[in-house]
Amino acid sequence: MNYFELFEIPVSFFPDPAVVSKKYLMLQKKFHPDFFANASAEEQAEALAQSSMANKALQVLKDPALVLPYILEINELLSVNENYQLPPHFLMEVMDLNEQVMEVTDDVQKDALRLQLKQLEDDIYEPIKGLLESYQMGITPKEAMLPIKDYYFKKKYLDRIADELQ
């Protein structure tokens, strides 16, 4: 069972935060371990497992940065420690940005690099925006999701550079 099934919501790159919160509270009212204090050990273990899964699901479903890879995973398009090959031109851009980050000496330069990063992120997001919005589990072909996977790995690079600018 995936987190969307647990919360009984459609698989979406943009789950409604209000619905996610409401479903989470419903699950906690049903499975919170405190409500099973007098239950059998087996029932307590099951309640704990369900409550724990609901907690993990909430963390993922409320964070767009976690929803995207999660959907790639449940579609078997992403694996742990995957060695994904990005296009050489993108890697060259990233290498250039990394060099600029190492040479930053003041806040004005940092701000300029942040703007450059934001523009690059917008450029890689624009081609997949419609796909993210129109995605339907079981209907959208896996092949059509490959640009989303490419975006995910590119964004990870850009996020690391952004972290260095903090």
- Would you list the domain boundaries of the chain? 3-62, 88-164
Closest-CA residue to 123 (of 162, 86, 92, 154):
154
- Look at residue 37 in the predicted model and tell me its pLDDT: 86
pLDDT tens string 78-133: 988 889 999 999 999 999 999 999 999 899 999 999 999 999 999 999 999 999 99
Q: Could you give the dihedral angle defined by the CA atoms of residues 7, 59, 25 and 33, in that order, rounded to the nearest 10 degrees?
A: 100
pTM across the whole model: 0.90
C-beta neighbour count of 67 within 10 angstroms: 20
Q: What is the CATH topology of the domain spanning 3-62? A: Helix Hairpins (1.10.287)
Q: What's the token pair of residue 13?
A: 């790159």
Q: Are residues 10 and 133 in contact, defined by beta-carbon separation less than 8 angstroms?
A: no
